[in-house]
Amino acid sequence: MSTDMPQFVMPPPVATERTVADGGFPGPSELEGPAAALTMAPVVGARPRAWLARVLVAVGVAGLLLGAVIQAGVHGAAGSAAAARTAALQATAMEYLTAIAEGRASDASALVPPTLRGQLAPDEVLAAARPIRDYSAAVGHLAGATGTVVVEYTVGGLELQRLLRAEEADGTWRITTSLTEIPQVYQKHQLAQVSVGSVELEANRRMLLYPGAYMQDGVDTGLFRSVGNAFVVDGDPASVTEIWSGLELDMMVAVVAADLALGIVHDCQAEASCGVDAEARVQQLEEPHLRSVNPLTGGVDIGAPIAIGDRWTEVRIRALPDRLTGAAQWLCPEPERLDLPIVPCEE
C-alpha cells in the first residue's frame, strides 16, 4: 500500500466584486460577461432616476406658479374691465343730470329719449326753473349688457332718489329710463294761460317737463292779471304734478266796481224804480269778481254781489280798456236790468 499523501489542487482565487460605493472602478476585464452586467445594473440606473424625479418636481412647482400667475392675471383683467364699465355708466348718468341741471332739455333728451308720448317743452322752460342741485349717480349692478344706476338730487327742497335702467351696446352705455313727466294743466278760464319762460303750456297738449321748481309767468292787463301756482316736477312719472291757472281782477278795478254797484242800487232805491224797499239796508256782500273776458276787446264783465235787506243781487259792471289813455271805460246796467251793463256809468 502506498503511503503517499493525496494531492489537492486549490481553486483559483475568486475576484472580489468592487462597486462604486466601495470606491473602486471596474476594469475592462470586469465589464465582460453576465456577472458584470448584473453587478453594474443597479449602479448605472440609480442616478438617472433621481435626477428625473427632481426635474419632474421642479416642473410641477413651476406649473403651479405659472397657473397661479395666469389666474391672477385673468381676475385682474376682468376686474379692470368691470371697473371701466362701471365708470362709463356712472359718467353717462352724470352727463344726463348735468344737462338737466343746466337747463338743456334738448341735450338731455338726446342722451335719454323720453319714454312718454308727448311734446318736449323747449329749453326756455327748463332754463326758467330753479334747477336740481346736489346731484350724484352710483351704479347699482351690472348683468351682462344691462345695468342700473341710482341717481340722487335735490329739487324744490325735496331730496329725491331715482333708479334708472341702462343698456350697453358696442361698448357704449345708454340709459333707458327718462326723468320727464307730463303734468296735468287746469285752466280756470279760457284766457288763463299757463306760461313758463314765456312759453305757453297748453292744457290740451301733453307737454314733457324735466325735474325743476317752476314758477308761472304773470300777465297783467291793467284790468285783470293771471294767477297760477308754483309747482315742482320731481322726475317720477308715477307722481302727479298739477298746474292750475286763473284770472283775477286788478285790486283797484275791484274797488271801483264795488263803488259803482252800490251807487246804482242806492239810486234805484231812492227813485223807487227797481223794487228796492226804501227802508232796506243796502251793503256790499262780497268782493267783486271776474265773470268773463272778451278776447277781442280785452274788456271784462264784473259781478258785484250786493245785499238788499234779507236778499241779495248781483250787479253787473263792464270795464273796457282804452288803449289810448290807458284808463278804463265803465258801463253800468239800467235800474230795471241790473244784470245788463249797456250804458255809461255816471261818475
pLDDT per 10-residue tile (average), the chain, 347 residues: 46 48 46 45 53 61 55 55 89 98 98 93 97 96 93 96 95 95 87 87 89 92 89 93 92 93 89 79 92 88 93 92 75 84 84
Residue keyed to cell 332754463: 127
pLDDT confidence of residue 204? 81
Q: Is 167 inside any structural domain?
A: no
Residues 6+ apart with CB under 8 A from 319: 223, 253, 257, 299, 300, 302, 328, 329, 330, 331
Do both 333 and 258 map to the same domain? Answer: yes
Do both 242 and 267 map to the same domain? Answer: no
Do both 229 and 295 map to the same domain? Answer: no
Do both 216 and 288 map to the same domain? Answer: no
Do both 336 and 291 map to the same domain? Answer: yes
Do both 193 and 274 map to the same domain? Answer: no
Do both 261 and 303 map to the same domain? Answer: yes
Long-range contacts of 332-340 (CB under 8 A, 24+ apart): 332/260, 332/264, 333/264, 335/264, 335/267, 335/268, 335/271, 335/273, 335/274, 336/273, 336/274, 338/264, 338/265, 338/268, 338/274, 338/313, 338/314, 339/314, 339/315, 340/316
pLDDT confidence of residue 44? 47
pLDDT confidence of residue 279? 84
Do both 337 and 263 map to the same domain? Answer: yes
* Strands (E) located in the chain: 119-120, 133-143, 146-155, 158-169, 172-175, 184-187, 195-196, 199-200, 207-208, 212-214, 224-228, 231-233, 242-249, 282-284, 289-293, 300-308, 311-321, 328-334, 337-344
pLDDT confidence of residue 243? 94
Q: Is 4 inside any structural domain?
A: no
Do both 257 and 198 map to the same domain? Answer: no
Do both 231 and 313 map to the same domain? Answer: no
Residue keyed to cell 259792471: 317
- C-alpha distances (whole Å) from 24 to each of 27, 28, 34 are 9, 13, 19
Q: Is 220 inside any structural domain?
A: yes
Q: Is 177 inside any structural domain?
A: no
Q: Is 270 inside any structural domain?
A: yes
Domain range for 222 is: 184-249
* Last residue of one domain, picked from the residues 249, 265, 295: 249
Q: Is 272 inside any structural domain?
A: yes
Q: Is 278 inside any structural domain?
A: yes
* Last residue of one domain, picked from the residues 223, 249, 275: 249
* Last residue of one domain, picked from the residues 249, 269, 299: 249
- Supply 257's cell numbers: 266796481
Q: Is 208 inside any structural domain?
A: yes
* CB 213 within 8 Å of CB 155: yes
pLDDT confidence of residue 56? 59
pLDDT confidence of residue 316? 95
Class of residue 303 by CB neighbours under 10 A (exposed 0-12, middle 13-18, buried 19+): middle
- Number of domains the chain contains: 2
**If you ran DSSP here, which 8-state letter would residue 295 be given?**
T
Do both 328 and 338 map to the same domain? Answer: yes
Cα-Cα-Cα-Cα torsion 53, 59, 65, 70, nearest 10 degrees, comes to -150
Do both 339 and 255 map to the same domain? Answer: yes
pLDDT confidence of residue 41? 47
